[in-house]
Amino acid sequence: MPSDHRLWELREMRARNPGAVAEGAAQRTRRPLLNDSGRLLILAADHPARGALGVRGDATAMADRDDLLLRLMTALADPSVDGVLGTADILEDLLLLGALEGKVVFGSMNRGGLQGAVFELDDRFTGYDAATIAAMGFDGGKMLCRIDLADPGTVRTLESCGRAVTELARLGRVAMLEPFISRRVDGRLHNDLTAAAVVKSVAVASGLGATTSHTWLKLPVVDGLEEVMAATTLPTLLLGGDPVGAIEETYSSWARALTLPGVRGLVVGRALLYPPGGDVAAAVAGAAQLVRPALGKVSA
């Protein structure tokens, strides 16, 4: 995607008027977290801050910031897209570009577990904190919670996530927890995507914090998702993950998962922003069609 004048103006604004971020946040039009549909379609764009730039084997697909922003703006222009999840750099770019008007916004909190690092499981909170999320008028904070019983870095992550859950709830903001049972294989971290492992991660994550009044889960679409969703009463969004295989197969798995009790929608990044063929608008429209037909079938 080519650049355009909006991105030139963005760079000028960042250099000359840093106060524009606070001004834009104060003036931004907000909406309720859930509208009448009771479902959400959220874009995920917090991968670069963890050094995860690859999509479908292209190791630097997300490295071009102009390209990423234009893809995000294309997707956010679809009224079926409820909002976006990202780190401060990306969310503030989108804010200054006017792309967050009337959208749900989640700030990504722990990005310290850099992809491939020896300290990847010591996933420190290097991004948003609860106070800033509230001050910016955002709807919640998302945290990655990978659990490796063989890695002592896990306990710091658990403690930090628990504290963030409590702080976000105190401020009336959603705590979006993304848990995994993880382990290293030949020195590389892998998430266990068996139903039994995801159930265990849900059990651990659901107990974090002094209250779960504002806790939501962000879970992978796995075989046996019925068993996973039976393990919690917390509202749940399904993650798209790094896309593999045909997009039709991915959409089919999402469609089945969206019918389960407790599932409130999708959080998808690379699969929609970098679809085969490059048509972001069409990919977003396809995902929205999966979410919207299920509206009104939300289980109590």
What pLDDT does residue 192 have? 96
Which CATH superfamily, name and number, covers 5-294?
A: Aldolase class I (3.20.20.70)
pLDDT at position 296 is 40
pLDDT tens readout for residues 151-160: 998 999 999 9
pLDDT of residue 245: 63
HSE-up of residue 229 (Cα within 13 Å, Cβ side) = 21
Confidence of residue 243 (pLDDT cuts 50, 70, 90): low
94-135 pLDDT, tens digit each: 999 999 999 999 999 999 999 999 999 999 999 999 999 999
Residue 209 near residue 165, CB atoms below 8 Å: yes
What is the mean pLDDT of the segment spanning 73-90? 97
pLDDT digits (tens, 9 = 90+) for 258-297: 999 999 999 999 999 999 889 999 999 999 999 977 444 4
Residue 57: pLDDT band (50, 70, 90) is confident
Closest CA to 85 of 122, 41, 51, 52: 41
Distance of CA 98 to the CA centre of its chain: 20
Question: Cα–Cα distance between 28 and 31 in angstroms, integer?
Answer: 10
Concatenating the DSSP letter of every residue in 217-265 gives EEEE--TTHHHHHTT--S-EEEE--S--S-HHHHHHHHHHHTTSTTEEE
Residues in the chain: 300
Terminal Cα-to-Cα distance of the chain (whole angstroms): 43
Question: pLDDT confidence of 244, banded at 50, 70, 90?
Answer: low
**Could you tell me the two tokens for 129?**
């904190």
